[in-house]
Amino acid sequence: MNIDLTGKAALVTGSTAGIGLAIAASLAASGASVTINGRDADRVAEVAARLGVNGVAGDVATAEGARRITDALPDVDILVNNAGVFVAEPVFEISDDGWREVFEINVLSGIRLARHYAPRMAGRGRGRVIFISSEAGIQPPTSMVHYGMTKTAQLAVSRGMAQELAGTGVTVNSVLAGPTMSEGVLAMWDDIYPGLSREEQEARFVEEGRAAGSLLHRVIRPEEVANLVAYLASDLSSATTGRALGADGGLVPTVFP
């Protein structure tokens, strides 16, 4: 099986680090013309040069930032809505602004970009829209209910868009990523497991943290999520749309997502 994205233009939001960076690298390695995105223009330029891809700075959580991106890149064949944030906070202490901020970054950003790009894809008779969701959308974490809410919302948006685009040649899917060894997770480990090595931190997280119950008995690596995204971005996934596919290491204890 050969994933060939030659001639396809791809945009990956929130892609200067972590899962987004791994996705951008994977799509580029498969032949796509990739544009990475982030809020910090200097960081975007540095990562783009390192990967040998294009870069566009813009805060996708704002309408202005999304417009900056679509003005610079009017059309794509593959849109990966990866930008996201997670914050641990007791549910009854989350302010209205806290709920809005997480929703705008995690959900509305992808809606804005899909609203621009997906109809253009449909006009050409082909395209891929992929939301990077989470197993937290299926089983919301008590310490991050607002995060879980946004990941559930992504699943509804993805399915609804897939239904709207039925028969157009454009597919829309979500990826249920499990706890992944990203910079954000490593920073969290340093807070809750200070003084331990990375191997010890991972073992503790698998034993007692969010990854407890993983059938892999380890944390997901960004490249493993990226592999699934590359498949969904390719022609090989042409019969898959409106779905939520897991890269969660079997953490969700069900045969259905």
Using alpha carbons only, give the angle 228, 229, 234 rounded to the nearest 5 degrees: 100
Question: How many Å apart are CA 195 and CA 251, to the nearest integer?
Answer: 27
Domain match, 70 and 195 both: no
pLDDT tens by residue, 4-56: 999 999 999 999 999 999 999 999 999 999 999 999 999 999 999 999 999 99
Domain match, 31 and 62 both: yes
pLDDT tens by residue, 103-148: 999 999 999 999 999 999 999 999 999 999 999 999 999 999 999 9
User: What beta strand segments (E) does the chain contain?
Assistant: 9-12, 33-38, 54-57, 78-81, 127-134, 170-177, 244-247
**Residue at 43 is within a domain:** yes
Domain match, 187 and 171 both: no
> Number of structural domains, the chain?
2
Tell the residue number behind the tokens 């705008």, with chain if given. Answer: 104
Look up the pTM and report it.
0.97
CATH number of residue 150's parent domain = 3.40.50.720
Question: How many Å apart are CA 52 and CA 25, to the nearest integer?
Answer: 9
**Residue at 173 is within a domain:** yes
Domain match, 106 and 231 both: yes
Domain match, 212 and 189 both: yes
Q: Is the pLDDT of residue 1 over 90?
A: no
**Residue at 53 is within a domain:** yes
Domain match, 197 and 147 both: no
Q: Specify whether 147 is catalytic.
A: yes
Domain match, 49 and 174 both: yes
User: What beta strand segments (E) does 95-169 contain?
Assistant: 127-134
Domain match, 162 and 132 both: yes
Is 56 within 8 Å of 73 (Cβ atoms)? Answer: yes
pLDDT tens by residue, 191-203: 999 999 999 999 9
Domain match, 149 and 209 both: no
**Residue at 255 is within a domain:** no
pLDDT of residue 256: 78
Domain match, 174 and 191 both: no
**Residue at 153 is within a domain:** yes
Catalytic residue among 117, 147, 193, 231: 147
Domain, as residue range, for 53: 9-178+222-246
pLDDT of residue 257: 66
Tell the residue number behind the tokens 């804005």, with chain if given. Answer: 112
**Residue at 87 is within a domain:** yes
**Residue at 254 is within a domain:** no
Give me the percent of the chain exceeding a pLDDT of 70.
Answer: 100
Domain match, 87 and 37 both: yes
**Residue at 83 is within a domain:** yes
Domain match, 207 and 235 both: no
Question: How many Å apart are CA 170 and CA 118, to the nearest integer?
Answer: 8
